Amino acid sequence: MFEKIFFLLCLSTALAEQLCRPEASDGYRVRLSIKTALGDEAYVWNDNEMFLFRATLAFAMRNQISGQEFEVSNIIVCDETPRVSFWFVVTSPQNTSQLVDKESVEEAVRKSRNRINSAFLLTDKTLEFIGIPPTLAAPVNPDTPPWLIVFGLVMGAVGAGIIVLLASSVVQKKRKNDEKPDDEEIDEETRVKTVENSAASEGIYNRSFSDDERFTHM
């Protein structure tokens, strides 16, 4: 009996090894860069971490293919390197010798990528599935471009400034014009007075007259 169990175990591991190999058609390579991501707080990669990975992946497969109950044993890992990269394949729970196809695995990983990343405190860049590019986050596109808002504010302020300055200079000019007729009247009176003066006494040299001559030359 023991030999049977032993034989079955050997067979299953052999089968598993056959199913999982590098460059398997239905498998993916995973690469983790824990030290790059976490620096001093990096954890050591050991068998427990590997178990967590297999469990997370089984969770992802369960989410993808409803009804089928994937177990940790359905995720087979091989070709581990010190880089912390390895190859994995997923077997179907109904038939352990049959692999789940590549597209389903890719879909499953894509859907639950966030959960897988956060389980390991890593990001899309530091937990790489070679062959499954991460879906790019769409850049935020607000309805009104922010620059138009700032532009509107600046133009409003500038426009108000122009109106204020132009209005104040118009007002200033009006005030000047109102003062001018008063000055001209005073001028007229002095001229009239000087004319009268010179008619009365001829001793005083009358500058206003000599200035008048200059004006007429023009």
Partner 1 sequence: MKLKLPNPGLDNRIPSHGDLEKMEKEEAGDRPKWDNKAQYLLTCVGFCVGLGNVWRFPYLCQSHGGGAFMIPFLILLVLEGIPLLHLEFAIGQRLRKGSVGVWRSINPYLTGVGIASLIVSFLVGMYYNTIMAWIMWYLFNSFQNPLPWSQCPLNANRTGLVEECARSTTVDYFWYRETLNTSADIEESGGLQWWMVLALVSAWTLLYVCCIRGIETTGKAVYITSTLPYVVLTIFLIRGLTLKGSVEGIKFLFTPDVNELMNPATWLDAGAQVFYSFSLAFGGLISFSSYNSIHNNCEQDAVLISIINGCTSVYSATVIYSIIGFRATQKYDDCMGNNIFKLMNAFNYPENTITESNYDQILVQLNQTSPHIIQGLDLQTCDMQFFLSQGVEGTGLAFIVFTEAIIKMPFSPLWAVLFFIMLFCLGLSTMFGNIEGVVVPLQDLRVLPRTWPKEVFCGLTCLISFAFGLIFALRSGNYWLALFDNFAGSIPLLVIGFCEMIAVIYIYGVDRFNEDIEFMIGHKPNIFWQVTWRVVSPVIMIFILVFYFVTQVTKSLTYLVWDQESFPTLEPRPYPSFVYVIIFILAGVPSLAIPAFAFFKFIQKKCCKQKDYSENTVDTISAKIQMIYKNNVLL
Give me the residues that bind partner 1 (CB under 8 A), please.
31, 33-36, 81-85, 136, 138-139, 146-151, 154-155, 158-159, 161-162, 165-166, 169, 173, 183, 187, 190, 207-208, 211, 214, 217-218
The CB-of-22 to partner 1 minimum distance in angstroms stands at 11
Closer Cβ to partner 1, 31 or 111, answer by number:
31
Residue 58 C-beta: closest distance to partner 1, Å: 26
Three-state DSSP at 184 gives: helix
For residue 2, give Cα distances in angstroms to 6, 10, 54. Answer: 6, 12, 29
Q: Is 215 exposed, middle or buried (0-12, 13-18, 19+ CB in 10 A)?
A: exposed
Residue of 108, 107, 20 lying closest to 61 (CA atoms)? 108
Phi, psi at 126, each rounded to 5°: -95, -15
Burial class (CB in 10 A: 0-12, 13-18, 19+), 182: exposed
Question: Please, is 90 exposed, middle or buried when counting C-beta atoms within 10 Å of its C-beta (0-12, 13-18, 19+)?
Answer: buried
Nearest approach in angstroms of CB 93 to partner 1 is 31
Q: Work out how close the CB of 72 gets to partner 1 at its nearest, in angstroms, rounded to a whole number.
A: 25
Which residue's CB is nearer to partner 1, number 82 or number 181? 82
Nearer to partner 1, 69 or 187 (CB): 187
Minimum distance from residue 89 beta carbon to partner 1 (Å): 19
Among 85, 104, 107, 109, which residue's Cα sits nearest to residue 93?
A: 104
Nearer to partner 1, 186 or 199 (CB): 186
Q: How far apart are CA 2 and CA 126, in angstroms?
A: 45
Task: Find the shortest distance in angstroms from Cβ 151 to partner 1.
Answer: 5
Nearer to partner 1, 148 or 199 (CB): 148
Contacts of 119 (CB under 8 A, 6+ apart): 52, 56
State which residue, 8 or 173, has the beta carbon closest to partner 1.
173
